[in-house]
Structures are given as structure tokens and as C-alpha cells.
Amino acid sequence: MARKQMVADQPLRLDNQICFAVYSAAHAFNRVYRPLLDGLGLTYPQYLVMLVLWEHDGVPLKDIGERLFLDSGTLTPLLKRLETARLIKRTRNTEDEREVLIALTAHGHALKEKARAVPMSILAASACSVGELTAMKNEIV
């Protein structure tokens, strides 16, 4: 292959694509989180929903979706599974029957205490300092 061709190929090389770096990092985090969250009976997206609710209980489905960039097609079944697990309750807003309000059950609220151990374990597993991770986060956001 001529040199000119190789140069033109550079942008298509996997290693040069930041999207792949981000994609891989997301999967890597998922692999680290999975065994920890198994102990809580949560998947990673379910954990994210619980984080939102632990900060702000009783919010509309729509708000959770905006916070996590997810739509009803993803959230409706996910929230039904959380309801089956007795972590949340779903009720229509009486002020506006279009909205579904998501509220923690006592069980869901209690799970927060168990979840406190998660960030520290992730930190240990990621073999990075807090400073390194914070710097990385700020680069991304």
C-alpha cells in the first residue's frame, strides 16, 4: 500500500477514534460495577435511576428521563422492574394525569445505606486516585 493511502486511512483507524475510547471506557465501568451492583440486586441503569431518586424523591418519569437522557421506551419497562422489586411505586399525578410520579418505597429508601459502599469500592477497583478520576471527569463533561 502506498504511503498516501496509509495517511488517508489514519482517520479510520480504531485507535485514533475518541468515540471508541469512550465506548470502551463505558463498557469497562460497566464490568466493574456489575459485581458490586449484583449485591444490591440492581443493574447499572437501575442504579442510576435510584441515584436520581435518592437525591430527589417523587419526581415525574419525564424528569428522570431528562436527567439520564433516557426516554419512556427505556424507562417504562425498567421502572416496572424496580416496582416489581418493591423499590419504587408508580402513581399517576392527580394534577396532570399524563404524568407518572416515581416514589421510593421504604425498602427503596433503605437501599441507599447499602449503596454508600459502592463509590468507594469503584475507586479501589479503578486503581486511580480521586484526583485523577476527578480530572478525567472534568475533561469529559
Q: Which residues of this chain interact with a copy of itself, rule CB under 8 A?
A: 8-9, 11-14, 17-29, 33, 44, 48, 51-52, 54-55, 67, 69, 112, 115-116, 118-120, 122, 133-137, 139-141
Rounded to whole angstroms, the Cα distance separating 21 from 16 reads 9
Q: Is 140 in the site for DNA (CB under 7 A)?
A: no
Q: How far is the CB of 116 from DNA (least distance, A)?
A: 21
Q: Is the dihedral of CA 25, 26, 31, 33 positive or negative?
A: positive
- Number of Cβ within a 10 Å radius of residue 117: 12
What is the per-residue burial (b if ≥16 Cβ within 10 Å, else e) of 4-31? eeeeeeeeeeeeeeeeeeeeeeeeeeee
Of 105 and 121, CB closest to a copy of itself: 121
Among 13, 58, 71, 107, the residue binding DNA under the rule CB under 7 A is 71
Of 15 and 95, CB closest to DNA: 95
